[in-house]
Structure 1
Amino acid sequence: MSEQKLSDNERLKGQSNFLRGTITQDLQDELTGGFNGDNFMLIRFHGMYQQDDRDIRNERTAQKLEPLHNVMLRARLPGGIITPEQWLVIDRFAEESTMYGSLRLTTRQTFQFHGVLKRDIKLMHQTLSSTGIDSIATAGDVNRNVLCTSNPVESELHQEAYEWAKKISEHLLPKTRAYLEIWLDGERLDTPDEEPILGSTYLPRKFKTTVVIPPQNDVDVHANDLNFVAIADNGKLVGFNVLVGGGLAMTHGDTATYPRKATDFGFIPLSHTLAVAEAVVTTQRDMGNRVERKNAKTKYTLERVGVEVFKAEVEKRAGIQFTESRPYEFTGRGDRFGWVEGIDGKQHLTLFIENGRILDFPGKPLKSGLREIARVHKGDFRLTANQNLIIAGVPKKDKAKIEKLARAHGLIDDAVSEQRKDSMACVALPTCPLAMAEAERFLPEFVTEIEGVLARHGVTDDSIIFRVTGCPNGCGRAMLAEIGLVGKAPGRYNLHLGGNREGTRIPRMYKENITDRQILAEIDSLVGRWAAEREAGEGFGDFVVRAGVVAPVVDSARDFYAV
């Protein structure tokens, strides 16, 4: 591979002076609202993507104006925990200094600002830093925000798992001082930068890590490169099963790309956690494909070099031996909505936030409501990997006050169906430059139509894991849904069927490049069969596989595209 021409991203990283590029100079360029040359990509390592409002792109072109360039920033929040004080600061920045005024909760268990103009970018980073938040390594070829099960019940176990998520995040962060120098006006030191884990050209591709507490697979372990499955003994964390090589992205028309489930490497005690995390990352760093970015993720490295070769290298670098995986089971992956009481006696309220979009909507002033709650709440907020929000650690005496505020602002709606709670979409249009079709704006009305289908066939007490992504890059995790739509063109999607409720099976493409009306007709027909022919307790995804509607994906590298 070393004799082949490397991807241009490798040149870019190698010449970036440890991710500095000429970003500082670019910030002074008032002739454009965007970033020039390599800086367009380098700002991703600082947690930002350059975007524009595609709804008005043609209008601005007709006016001989450049696109309305702005950035989306994704914060680093290991485990998704944020204090009320931090919430009030980010709420105010979104209100005063973004084009859209909203916050968006993401499938990476953090929040995003959308629509930040170039003039406000440094202010954004400095505002976040003042509260102890940054956006280091939430994008680019690095280990990104580390997810952790948002468990509001087993509080002690969750705290232990959350602490490991933080430790893993800190251990794998880039060591370059570029972020501090560019955004926080840190002093430029004469000593050279070093990247002992990520290397001078960083990873071949993005890398995602999770910590998950069974039985809730609420972080979708099979969507991630590295996963630590918590193993407890008498309520105390004793170690992790390590799963490597999951990932959902693919490229339309390229059968060399495919979603893949993570492979179970075995069990490790807690003392080996950071060594194994580092070893998996450095093995991928050195063995990953730096020629073809479409095949650069860890999942493809495992397929190319072999699982046993990769695993043996991890053991060698970490100085450990994996032992046989400890038994565990996933029984669900959604969030537990409403109030639950933790073993610590604290109350926890999980709120459903459709598409994770926090804004004041007509009749549902969600953003104002969360602001009011943050002003009185004494616990913390927990962002979930399913775009929802937990008001955590509420003393019993404050429960009624918090619920009253939530209901008054539409944050609790008893009419929301289970189907809507089990549906999810990525941002897509108008801000994502990769989107081929609508997702976030498409989902609410289409879910209403699915609710009608369920009612027509008498199965309103059931729901289907339904997800929509505007392109095949996987942000909405449609490739772990029972019904997954992947954007192909405006108003057209590929329809995938056959995932399961536990998130341990990848769905197969059933129909290609069809309209929403055609999709709804297919769902109507299949739900009718499911209602009439299913076995007791059988989910929709399991039914379509058992009934032969689609064959199960067993080994996606070899059978994902099989007819």
Structure 2
Amino acid sequence: MSDSTANDAPTLTPVEGFKEASDYLSGPIPTELVNGEPNFTGEAMQLLKHHGTYEQDDRDRRKEAKAAQVPGGKYYSMMVRSVLPGGLLSSAQLMAQLDLCDEVGNGTLRFTTRQAIQVHGILKTDLRKYINRVVEIGQTTLAACGDVCRNVMCSPLPVQSAVYNDMQDLAARLKEHFKPRTGAYYELWVTDIETGEKTLAAGGEGTKTSGIKDADPVEPIYGKTYLPRKFKLGVALPEDNNADIYSQDIGFLAITDGVGAERRIVGYNLIAGGGFGRTPSAAKTFAAVGQPFCYCPVGEEVSAAEAIMKVQRDFGDRTDRKTARLKYLVANWGLEKFKAKVEEYAGRDLAAPKEVPIVGHDDAMGWREQGDGRWFYGLTIENGRVKDEGSFRLKAALREICGTLAPPLRVTGHQNLIFCDIEPGARSLLESILKSHGVPLTEDFSLARRWSMACPALPTCGLAVTESERAMPGIMDQIDAEITKLGLDEEVFTTRMTGCPNGCARPYNSDIGLVGRAKEKYTMFLGGSVLGHRLNWIYKDMVPADEVAAELGKVFTHFKANRSEGESLGDFCDRTGKDALLTACGE
């Protein structure tokens, strides 16, 4: 909690008080689950985030709700996330999630920007049924949200190699190591609703033991107040940064030795202090990409990450949630002081990071051989939304594929889905199922659309100031038209949109970032990179939605005329700079 002394105790946020009094994330939740009210109190809602759920309301229906005098004046519901380390899930699990989104959700499912599953529209009365069923199918919602280590991202490419297998193994071990140990989750959700008997809990029961001297008896890593704010991890390769590790609190960059079948991971560079939430009206907030922090041989990376997390636990800002992420601690202390404290907690010196840069981002889309005689297919799903709407029946197509072919599945960091282990003779069948349900193949998408993504925003997100997911397809139509007119169809660049500045779709390191600023107006960011290793900068503020494509068209025109050979859009904008770009584009 910063460096305050006992005589100068800081004023903690109310959330810290809620956690302190909650008896390890229980608090008033058991009582409020059965009190007959349509919504939760603020205290219960803050605690419920750690269980993987947020309370929301349908903002499109607020006037209707007020006119109808519904209790609370809003149509309340819950959004629930299921944790998928590295994006892995089975066909049976996806089918169960599709059943649940129909039975208790709003009929749609969403693959998130953190490789998880998100379902909206769950009534408070159905919350227990949903989470209970998720655990029953071998998944969990625990720590999908809240002031804890959230879903661990990992490059999802299903090629048969020791490197990718070991990366996925690390993602699973990290999530298991840093999961909350409280028994409250299982006491609240993991009992058979009809018989009251325990069901099988993914990851086991909460524990009351600890192997760490003087550690909290229930939460040896987190303690009873958990972390000051959310904490994100991701695992990547230099040539495959699908997990966008520079945006994470800790990124793990695999360092390898050998070539071909002999290639092996020998250690990891840990990259610390990334994070994208910001508030434009608060100068104290900012987006940050992580900084190369240390190198750990295989076997030492998890303990080093634990030391980093514990330093954040003990010294992160608990007086202001706007400045509570790890990036602010690193910025305030400086990397040298921060590293010295981490080494103290780790009980050893940490080696300097290796000079190994990020050089690629593999989106894993389309058909490719896995290396074992079978194939995988990466399907582009616009903004991750799985639904049946008119002739577009993606949900029904996924049911048929999962029921007929039953492939292992992987969600990507760009909200897309990979079908794994497809036999050569089944490739045409998978494509025919998709086509017969009106689902475009990846090959039917423009490159610009394929590399775009958006957060949900309106009508469900309480933080949204304008549209994102619902506006993005139309804006991409206009951007595609500008690109086609200039013959830039083969250019790869990332376009990411959010309905508010919190950055859930990671707009602050993309080539083009569109961040909601006011109703139907966006801040336009340029100069990031597909590689994700560089922040972009504000090009123009308060750009009306119907002028976004035209403004970008001017940039595309200047880019085409003045780029260096092979230069990407983001690199060109970064090299040119804001002032020169504004001058060249008519400002």
Query: Structure 1-normalised TM-score?
Result: 0.94
Report if aligned partners of 2:92, 2:406 keep a CA contact under 8 Å in 1: no
Q: Residue 401 of structure 1 aligns to which amino acid in structure 2?
A: L
> After the TM superposition, which of the residue ranges 346-355 and 188-197 deviates more from structure 2?
188-197
**Counterpart residue number, 2:502:** 473
**Counterpart residue number, 1:304:** 332
Shift of 1:334: 4.9
Report if aligned partners of 1:498, 1:550 keep a CA contact under 8 Å in 2: no
Shift of 1:376: 2.4
| 1:222 and 2:246 matched | yes
Find 2:95's aligned residue among 81, 88, 99.
88
Q: Which runs of 5+ in 2 are unaligned?
A: 192-196, 199-204, 210-216, 582-587
| 1:106 and 2:105 matched | no
**Counterpart residue number, 1:561:** none
Task: Please list the CA deviations of residues 1-37 of structure 1 after superposition, one character each: whole Å capped at 9, or x if unmatched.
Answer: 352211111111101111001111111121x211124
Find 2:183's aligned residue among 165, 177, 187.
177
Shift of 1:315: 2.1
**Counterpart residue number, 1:28:** 34
Find 2:427's aligned residue among 399, 405, 411.
399
Find 2:281's aligned residue among 233, 240, 253.
253
Measure the CA separation in 2 of the matches of 1:290 and 1:551: 41
> After the TM superposition, which of the residue ranges 239-248 and 540-549 deviates more from structure 2?
540-549
**Counterpart residue number, 1:313:** 341
Q: Residue 97 of structure 2 aligns to which amino acid in structure 1?
A: I
Shift of 1:485: 0.9
Find 2:220's aligned residue among 186, 196, 212.
196
Report if aligned partners of 2:365, 2:377 keep a CA contact under 8 Å in 1: yes
5 Å-filtered alignment, 1:66-465, equals: 66-98=73-105, 100-185=106-191, 194-234=218-258, 235-409=263-437, 410-412=439-441, 414-465=443-494
Q: Residue 104 of structure 1 aligns to which amino acid in structure 2?
A: R
Measure the CA separation in 2 of the matches of 1:424 and 1:107: 8
Report if aligned partners of 1:497, 1:550 keep a CA contact under 8 Å in 2: no
Shift of 1:213: 2.1
Query: Cα 1:413–1:546, aligned 2, differ >3 Å: closer, same or farther?
Result: closer
Measure the CA separation in 2 of the matches of 1:457 and 1:79: 38
**Counterpart residue number, 2:69:** 64
Measure the CA separation in 2 of the matches of 1:428 and 1:161: 32
> After the TM superposition, which of the residue ranges 540-549 and 465-474 deviates more from structure 2?
540-549
**Counterpart residue number, 1:556:** none
Task: Please list the CA deviations of residues 454-492 of structure 1 after superposition, one character each: whole Å capped at 9, or x if unmatched.
Answer: 122222222431111111111011101111111111101
Measure the CA separation in 1 of the matches of 2:424 and 2:579: 49
Q: Residue 513 of structure 2 aligns to which amino acid in structure 1?
A: G
Report if aligned partners of 1:496, 1:510 keep a CA contact under 8 Å in 2: yes
Q: What SS is found at the alignment partner of 2:524?
A: strand
Task: Please list the CA deviations of residues 233-262 of structure 1 after superposition, one character each: whole Å capped at 9, or x if unmatched.
Answer: 222222111111001110021111111110
Q: Residue 249 of structure 2 aligns to which amino acid in structure 1?
A: D
**Counterpart residue number, 1:51:** 56
Shift of 1:550: 5.3
Measure the CA separation in 2 of the matches of 1:165 and 1:276: 15
Measure the CA separation in 2 of the matches of 1:510 and 1:395: 48
Measure the CA separation in 2 of the matches of 1:128 and 1:55: 29
> After the TM superposition, which of the residue ranges 9-18 and 188-197 deviates more from structure 2?
188-197
Q: Residue 58 of structure 2 aligns to which amino acid in structure 1?
A: D
Report if aligned partners of 1:15, 1:21 keep a CA contact under 8 Å in 2: yes
Q: Residue 34 of structure 1 aligns to which amino acid in structure 2?
A: N
Q: What SS is found at the alignment partner of 1:139?
A: coil
Q: CA RMSD in A?
A: 1.9
Measure the CA separation in 1 of the matches of 2:391 and 2:357: 41
Measure the CA separation in 1 of the matches of 2:569 and 2:353: 29
Q: Residue 574 of structure 2 aligns to which amino acid in structure 1?
A: V
| 1:532 and 2:561 matched | yes
Shift of 1:151: 1.5
Runs of 4+ that moved beyond 6 A = 186-192
Report if aligned partners of 1:369, 1:411 keep a CA contact under 8 Å in 2: no
Measure the CA separation in 2 of the matches of 1:215 and 1:113: 32
Task: Please list the CA deviations of residues 336-383 of structure 1 after superposition, one character each: whole Å capped at 9, or x if unmatched.
Answer: 321111223321100000000001132221111111111123431000
**Counterpart residue number, 2:45:** 40
Q: Residue 46 of structure 1 aligns to which amino acid in structure 2?
A: H
Q: Residue 24 of structure 1 aligns to which amino acid in structure 2?
A: P
5 Å-filtered alignment, 1:491-502, equals: 491-502=520-531
Q: Residue 304 of structure 1 aligns to which amino acid in structure 2?
A: N
Report if aligned partners of 2:442, 2:450 keep a CA contact under 8 Å in 1: no
Task: Please list the CA deviations of residues 59-116 of structure 1 after superposition, one character each: whole Å capped at 9, or x if unmatched.
Answer: 1112222211110001111111001111111111112221x20110000101101110
Measure the CA separation in 1 of the matches of 2:482 and 2:471: 17
Question: When the two structures are aligned, how many residues end up with a matched partner?
Answer: 550
Measure the CA separation in 2 of the matches of 1:424 and 1:274: 31
Q: Residue 130 of structure 2 aligns to which amino acid in structure 1?
A: M
Shift of 1:224: 0.7
Query: Structure 2-normalised TM-score?
Result: 0.90
Q: What SS is found at the alignment partner of 2:444?
A: coil
Q: Percent identity?
A: 36
